[in-house]
Amino acid sequence: MTTIGVLGLQGAFREHVRSVEATGAKALVVKKKEQLEDIDGLIIPGGESTTMRRLIDKYDFLEPIRQFGKQGKPLFGTCAGLILLASEIDGSYDVHLGLMDIKVRRNAFGRQRESFEADLDIKGIADGFNAVFIRAPYIEGVGEDTEVLATYDGHIVAAQQDHYLACSFHPELTDDHRLTSHFVEMVDQSKKSLAF
Ligand code: GLN
């Protein structure tokens, strides 16, 4: 059976577990790098990217997660997780995992709009998706191999590059599990192709 790991160092990981389980897949909270061997895909949740990075370093996760991605295993970054996946962060020399060819801006929707909800059309995945944004980043630019999946107010809020998926919002906080299901399908596909 396909097992989806959820990085459980900080942030909204329990909600992701609930969402993965709602799709019928198995979820595992990943707290030690050795557990990466027990999973087929990894979700990096929302929270606070700088805090999560500190914990990633403390538990020696940075290189093991990079290798996980480089082996072709799918990663899904939501909100702070998107920031961790990005190859460039506006206004900062910091890059965390640097796996996905996107440039992000943190806290990009401004103070007045700390959190809000919006109905999004996510290309090929969901129409009228109820997206919850909390101190959300957006994607300022993508590389040529990265597909834009959704925009809000003219800004990119979801994208996919091969086996990497990222969104600015929190898809785990509602009962709409279509984006999580899409990730589970990506993981199923990659599991099949990596088996050959
Ligand atoms: N603003 C947070 C950060 O920069 C992300 C917010 C979230 O994950 N909800 O890490």
Task: Output b/e per residue, 156-191; b: 16+ Cβ within 10 A.
Answer: bbbbbbebbbbbbbbbbbeebbebbbbbbebbeebb
Asked if residue 143 belongs to a known ligand binding site, the reply is no
- CATH code of 3-194, in short, is 3.40.50.880
CA pair distance 166, 74, nearest whole angstrom? 11
Q: Residues 23-33: pLDDT tens digits?
A: 999 999 999 99
Higher pLDDT, 50 or 94: 50
**Interface pTM, i.e. ipTM:** 0.95
Q: Which residues line ligand 1 (CB under 6 A)?
A: 46-49, 79-80, 83, 106-107, 134-135
pLDDT of residue 112: 61
Ligand 1 centroid–CA 116 distance in Å is 14
Is residue 172 flagged as an active site residue? Answer: yes
Residues 135-188: pLDDT tens digits?
Answer: 999 999 999 999 999 999 999 999 999 999 999 999 999 999 999 999 999 999
C-alpha–C-alpha distance, residues 172 and 152, integer Å = 18
With beta carbons less than 8 A apart as the criterion, state whether 182 and 159 touch.
no
Q: Phi first, then psi: what are they for 171, rounded to 5°?
A: -75, -5
Instruction: Give the Å distance between the CA of 191 and the centre of ligand 1.
Output: 30
